[in-house]
Amino acid sequence: MGRKKGQIAMEFFAYSAIFLLALMAISIGISLVERIELEGRNAAVAREKVMRVANVIALVGSGEEGFSYRMNLGSDINGIPYRVEIKEGVVHLTVLDGRNTTYPYPTYIGNIEKSGCISAQSGWYIIDVNKDLLISNNGKGVVLWQEC
Residues 58-88 pLDDT 10s: 999 998 999 999 999 888 888 889 999 999 8
Question: What CA–CA distance (Å, rounded) separates 77 from 94?
Answer: 11
Q: Give the structural domain span for 45.
A: 2-146
User: For residue 94, what is the enclosing H or E element?
Assistant: strand 90-95
Banded model confidence at residue 119, pLDDT cuts 50, 70, 90: confident
Residue 108 exposed, middle or buried by CB count within 10 Å (0-12, 13-18, 19+): buried
Query: In the chain, how many domains are there?
Result: 1
The whole-number pLDDT of residue 104 equals 92
Q: Which of 104, 108, 106, 79 is nearest to 94 (CA)?
A: 104
Residue 79 exposed, middle or buried by CB count within 10 Å (0-12, 13-18, 19+): exposed
Banded model confidence at residue 16, pLDDT cuts 50, 70, 90: very high
Question: What CA–CA distance (Å, rounded) separates 108 from 49?
Answer: 16
What is the greatest pairwise CA distance in the chain? 98
pTM: 0.74
